[in-house]
């Protein structure tokens, strides 16, 4: 068993660079299956989700070369084979293979998706879109099969009943090579959607409106190779900015796109966090006398659900009482009990996380229950007096590239230990 061991209470300083966006790259890699030539991605993060996706596409027949943060994928030898449950259930983003395989072969058999347990995350919106485009759904054991009657997918007018990043991206991928025009209404607007649309357009797709609530895709017959730079990870950026405010004495976070973090930055400013925002970086000063605030998540450009857990340890340094309401995943509260184990006055009351601060945290043995909960526990361990041991760290390594090395460079006493 692997665990992260932190000897906390040390102030951090220096510079940390944000890696490429996890939530982009896990969709970009499956989308490349649609291409008829080599596609190169730059800025690919060193995370286990990427390792899993590379292994899957190699099984399918892709030739992959990896050099640091550059990933070269040749999809010309891709075969339409069933993707087994055992390989697929390690990550949620496996559902993007539905869209890419349907777009290329008009059929797909893929194991049901896995990932973090954040409560119900149905894929009914994905299936509704695929069915509107002519696919039929059936189940074979722990896999799902989607297939047309042998003809290509057909463009369709699709209204998303709720705003869904995954369903928006998946529909966009499938529609890129469909016959005719597809319109997605009530589409999600996240930066990662724009990133995937940019890749597809650079490959020859015809997608307009990404980043708005109406996306129009004119299907094309062929997609060619290209080179694409993955956008910076706004969730990783927010995590390090919050960490810098909680335990830093002057930290610059680089490779940051401020426009992707406006609601998050606004909440930090409401707390009184002092920082300097430059063109592609944020310098966070040493903080004092921060004010307790309440946080409510909402779809982009609102406060991101992925950032409510990473900001929680910072909230515990403020003066007063506040709350967190997650309107996207209301069960995203498993970090609360772990923080309470470290001495935080925090609890879940009626679906709302309530905290009283400031709290002096003490090192403890805690467990990461999902990716962003794990990030919160890392920050809490850095803040705490004494030793913190975090288990279930596979969740953390799914989404934070070189986190041990990055924090060590800032002065943290943190190690990944093979138990």
Cβ–Cβ < 8 Å for 268, 248: no
Q: What is the spatial distance between Cα 370 and Cα 84, in angstroms, rounded to a whole number?
A: 23
Sequence-ordered strand ranges (E) for 247-351? 248-254, 275-277, 281-284, 295-296, 320-325, 345-349
Round to the nearest angstrom and report the end-to-end CA distance of the chain: 5
Sorted by sequence, the CB contacts under 8 Å of residue 212 that are 6+ apart come out as 187, 189
Query: Are 22 and 403 spatial neighbours (Cβ–Cβ below 8 Å)?
Result: no
Q: Is 79 exposed, middle or buried (0-12, 13-18, 19+ CB in 10 A)?
A: exposed
Burial of 120 (0-12, 13-18, 19+ CB in 10 A): exposed
CA angle (332 as vertex; 327, 336 as ends), nearest 5: 120
Which tokens go with 355?
């905290």
Contacts of 328 (CB under 8 A, 6+ apart): 297, 298, 299, 305
Does residue 126 contact residue 98 with C-beta atoms inside 8 Å?
yes
Cis peptide before 352 (omega within 30 of 0): no
Spatial CB neighbours of 302, under 8 Å, sequence gap ≥ 6 = 263, 296
Question: Measured on CA atoms in the order 232, 377, 118, 315, is the torsion positive or negative?
Answer: negative
With beta carbons less than 8 A apart as the criterion, state whether 348 and 304 touch: no
From the candidates 116, 167, 230, 235, which is the catalytic residue? Answer: 116
Token pair belonging to 370: 């999902």
Note if 116 is an active site residue: yes
Q: What is the dihedral of CA 127, 129, 131, 133, to 10 degrees?
A: -150
Active site residues: 116
């Amino acid at each position: 068993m692997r665990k992260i061991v932190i000897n906390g209470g040390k102030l951090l300083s220096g510079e940390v660079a944000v890696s490429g966006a996890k939530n982009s790259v896990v969709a970009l890699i499956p989308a490349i299956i649609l291409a008829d030539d080599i596609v190169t991605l730059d800025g690919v993060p060193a995370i286990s989700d990427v390792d899993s996706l590379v292994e899957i596409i190699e099984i399918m027949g892709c030739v992959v070369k990896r050099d640091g943060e550059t990933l070269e994928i040749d999809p010309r030898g891709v075969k339409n084979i069933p993707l087994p449950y055992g390989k697929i259930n390690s990550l949620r983003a496996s559902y993007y293979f539905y869209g890419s395989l349907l777009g290329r072969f008009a059929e797909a058999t893929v194991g049901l998706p896995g990932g973090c347990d954040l409560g119900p995350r149905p894929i009914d919106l994905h299936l509704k879109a695929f069915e509107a485009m002519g696919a039929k759904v059936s189940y074979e054991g722990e896999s799902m099969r989607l297939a047309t009657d042998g003809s290509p997918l057909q463009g369709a007018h699709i209204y998303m009943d709720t705003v869904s990043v995954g369903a928006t991206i998946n529909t966009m991928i499938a529609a890129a090579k469909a016959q005719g025009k597809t319109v997605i209404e009530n589409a999600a607007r996240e930066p990662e959607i724009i990133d995937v649309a940019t890749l597809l357009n650079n490959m020859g797709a015809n997608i307009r409106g990404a980043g708005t609530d109406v996306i129009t895709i004119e299907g094309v017959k062929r997609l060619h190779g290209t080179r694409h730079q993955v956008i910076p990870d706004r969730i990783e950026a927010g995590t390090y900015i919050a960490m810098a405010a909680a335990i830093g004495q002057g930290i610059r976070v680089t490779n940051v796109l401020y426009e992707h973090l406006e609601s998050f930055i606004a909440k930090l400013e409401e707390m009184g966090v002092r920082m300097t925002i430059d063109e592609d970086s944020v310098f966070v000063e040493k903080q004092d006398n921060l004010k307790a605030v309440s946080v409510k998540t909402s779809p982009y450009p609102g406060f991101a659900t992925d950032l409510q857990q990473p900001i929680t340890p910072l909230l515990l340094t403020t003066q007063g009482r506040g709350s967190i309401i997650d309107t996207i995943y209301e069960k995203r509260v498993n970090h609360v009990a772990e923080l309470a184990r470290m001495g935080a006055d925090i609890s879940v009351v009626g679906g709302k996380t309530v905290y009283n601060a400031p709290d002096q945290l003490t090192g403890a043995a805690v467990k990461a229950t999902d990716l962003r909960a794990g990030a919160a526990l890392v920050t809490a361990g850095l803040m705490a007096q004494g030793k913190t041991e975090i288990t279930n760290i596979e969740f953390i390594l799914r989404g934070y590239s070189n986190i041990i090395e990055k924090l060590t460079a800032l002065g943290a006493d943190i190690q990944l230990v093979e138990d």
